[in-house]
Amino acid sequence: MAIAYAGCIIAATPANTRDVTFPSRGSTFHGYLAMPEGAGPHPGVVVIHEAFGLNAHIRDITRRFAGEGYAALAVDLFTDHSRPVCMAGLMGLMLTGREPSSIADLSATMDHLVAEPGVDPDRVGAIGFCMGGGYAIAWGRRDKRLRAIAPFYGTNPRPLEAVRRICPVVGSYPGKDFTARSGRKLDRRLAQLGVARDIKVYAGTRHSFFNDTGRSYDAGAAADAWRRTLEFFAEHVQSPRPTR
């Protein structure tokens, strides 16, 4: 399991890690896989990075999930592409309400994850940050394999009505950030739809409060958001699907 020490969250259990590649839309994408100890079958998590790409922070989060018993795969959505160009394209899509092409890459990421030995294909969730949080929400309404998603300071798809078929959501948003409004709107809409949710806005925190390598890091909010995410995933991802 992961533990908090001096305000930081660290993985208490060593993870087996390796770099991986997989195909999507005619390209070869890179990823970082962290597997827990034991033969499994393990639940899985797809980790979606923010605008900084698949960096040391995202790799650390991937290992944290492995320490909690999840097979975790972080994808590099900027593989062989210019980050500024990718971000400019994302901004254009957000303004027009069109779905990002990266959703197909996330589905390919899950395909690779569930094909790994020891991964349970029926117990998979996703977590995303900023750009990745928005992608998680857009993906969560499309891919029925997802049991739950955890968007951190992500934006909502347009129109918001598009979330009507979304999976359960545990969302974490900073109070001093424009995405707080997105979190509150998402919370209200999910309540109307009867979707299982745990949406929290952390007063006084700023964008990227979960990133312990950045200036906006808030140890208390980060620890609470991690706890809530794990508890929500334990209920909606780790547990077997109910029999019908």
pLDDT in tens, 60-99: 999 999 999 999 999 999 987 656 555 555 555 555 556 6
- According to CATH, the superfamily of the domain at 2-238 is Alpha/Beta hydrolase fold, catalytic domain (3.40.50.1820)
Per-residue pLDDT, 100: 72
119-129 and 169-176 strand pairing: unpaired
Report the alpha-carbon distance of residue 110 to residue 143 in Å, rounded: 10
Compute the average pLDDT of residues 173-185: 97
Burial 1-27 (b: 16+ CB within 10 A, else e): ebeeeeeebebeeebeeeebebebeee
Report the alpha-carbon distance of residue 65 to residue 89 in Å, rounded: 30
Report the alpha-carbon distance of residue 191 to residue 153 in Å, rounded: 19
DSSP state of 237: I
Give every CB contact of residue 25 below 8 A, 6+ residues apart in sequence. Answer: 101, 104, 105, 108
| Confidence grade of residue 32 (pLDDT, cut at 50, 70, 90) | very high
Nearest residue to 87 via CA among 51, 130, 60: 51
Using an 8 Å Cβ cutoff, are 55 and 129 in contact?
no
Using an 8 Å Cβ cutoff, are 135 and 47 in contact?
no
Which residue is it, tokens 């900073």?
174
In the predicted model, is pLDDT for residue 241 greater than 50? Answer: yes
Compute the average pLDDT of residues 121-132: 96
Domain boundaries of the chain, sorted by first residue: 2-238
Report the alpha-carbon distance of residue 226 to residue 224 in Å, rounded: 5
Percent of the chain with pLDDT over 90: 72
Report the alpha-carbon distance of residue 55 to residue 57 in Å, rounded: 5
In the predicted model, is pLDDT for residue 4 greater than 60? Answer: no
Task: Report DSSP letters for 195-223, one per residue.
Answer: --EEEEEEEEEETTTT-TTSTT--HHHHH
Q: Name the residue type at position 142.
A: R
Where does residue 209 rank: exposed (0-12), middle (13-18), buried (19+ CB within 10 A)? buried
